[in-house]
Structure 1
């Protein structure tokens, strides 16, 4: 008996909760208008996200294409890149309209057969009139090579903290190396042909002497 009463009370509570929920429902026209507005806002938001996503994909594709073109043109291929930024602006600088930022860059890559790693630091100072940037640190890490000229170029670029000098010197070195390799291959083939002709003539002379 007690179990039945408990079940009845539970059913009554459930019915009361449903009635309360029904009384709080909006009128049909109010619900329709609100749902329509909510749908439009959601659709517009999704449309903007989709357009933004398409723009990002298009921009990314353009950047990849441009990077591939530059790699083909210069021979440089950047594999890894990382950047850290530190704001050194003080309260006094802010009051004077000055902003001081340090950027730390790290990258690795190759120029044809030569691999390298670069770590450099750039100090940027921006005022109301202009913006100045200067490389304050430059470390170049390269695999040991038999070419002393390349090591000298690297040391000079590090000493002067000149990135342009490094890339230009490495590019010219690689072009010189490729030209030297082609020249060596050309003369090697010529020498083999000359050697073959010389041996063939010697054999011909020997055969003629034997026949005579």
Structure 2
């Protein structure tokens, strides 16, 4: 009986020793983990993470800057080719009856004309969209052709055609303005611009013939297809008494001869020719 009790105690002691050894081993492993998670190692890990994050952020910033530079270069090319500069662009996504619709608003200038264009596009598959509504606001009350262009675009939804026509129209207007200004500066006494260089006509005068003038009318028209065409005419403004002495019919044939000169010499040379032959004082070069 005594022996059985002794054996049980020995077994218990042996078991406790084994458990102590296991606890010591676990304690050593825990110390290693604690050492690994020490403040120095945590700081080193954080520094490594921060360095990696900083590198990633720097790379992302460089990519964004390169993309922005590319976009700016493309906008400069568009401005040079079309004269169109966008000052504000807005886009909003909506869902209507299970259809994805985007609302857009563009604000900007096409050379000297400001515009605001609001339109909606319906998202199609795959990666396609369709313009379903257009609203254009532009200061064009004094030009019936532009008013008609805006109205047609509202119906046709052809925004690409609208901007193409607008670009060509404003380019011709600027060319006309620069041409009028050029001749006014070169011949200040012979050329008159009663409504300024942006108007659609200029007056040619001869100081030796008071009251006798030629009106050079330069219209810029837009047809229903959006084609832009310059139309030029030379109209006499002569007193009735002076017109009675036109026995050779120069006044009546002036418009036809003017168009013939345009085809033969071009615009600049034709205007120069008229000024030199009609507007210069006698004896002047």
Same fold (TM over 0.5): yes
In structure 1, the partner of 2:268 is none
In structure 2, the partner of 1:175 is 171
In structure 1, the partner of 2:147 is 151
Greater RCO, CA 8 A, separation 6+: 1
Choose which of 160, 163, 174 in structure 1 pairs with 2:159.
163
Q: How many residues align?
A: 167
In structure 2, the partner of 1:85 is 93
User: Is the aligned partner of 1:195 residue 2:206?
Assistant: yes
Distance 1:116 1:44 in 2: 47
Larger mean CA deviation between 54-63 and 178-187 belongs to 178-187
TM (normalized to structure 2)? 0.51
Larger mean CA deviation between 167-176 and 26-35 belongs to 26-35
Following superposition, the deviation at residue 88 of structure 1 comes to 4.4
TM (normalized to structure 1)? 0.67
**Structure with more of its chain in helix, by fraction:** 1
Residues 199 and 122 of structure 1, relative CA distance in 2, 3 Å threshold: closer
Residues 200 and 169 of structure 1, relative CA distance in 2, 3 Å threshold: closer
In structure 2, the partner of 1:106 is 105
Following superposition, the deviation at residue 186 of structure 1 comes to 5.0
Contact 1:102/1:123 (CA < 8 Å) preserved in 2? yes
Q: What are the residue-to-residue correspondences of 1:1-212 with 2, within 5 Å?
A: 30-31=37-38, 32-88=40-96, 90=98, 100-126=99-125, 130-186=126-182, 188=184, 189-190=186-187, 192-193=189-190, 195=206, 201=282
Bigger radius of gyration: 2
Q: Deviations over 1:126-182 (max 9, x none)?
A: 2xxx44421111000011442211111111111111101110110111122123223
Residues 84 and 201 of structure 1, relative CA distance in 2, 3 Å threshold: same
Question: Structure 1 stretches of 5 or more lacking a match?
Answer: 1-23, 91-99, 205-212
Distance 2:114 2:172 in 1: 16
Distance 2:188 2:52 in 1: 74
Residues 199 and 38 of structure 1, relative CA distance in 2, 3 Å threshold: closer
Question: Structure 2 stretches of 5 or more lacking a match?
Answer: 1-30, 191-204, 209-278
Contact 1:150/1:173 (CA < 8 Å) preserved in 2? no
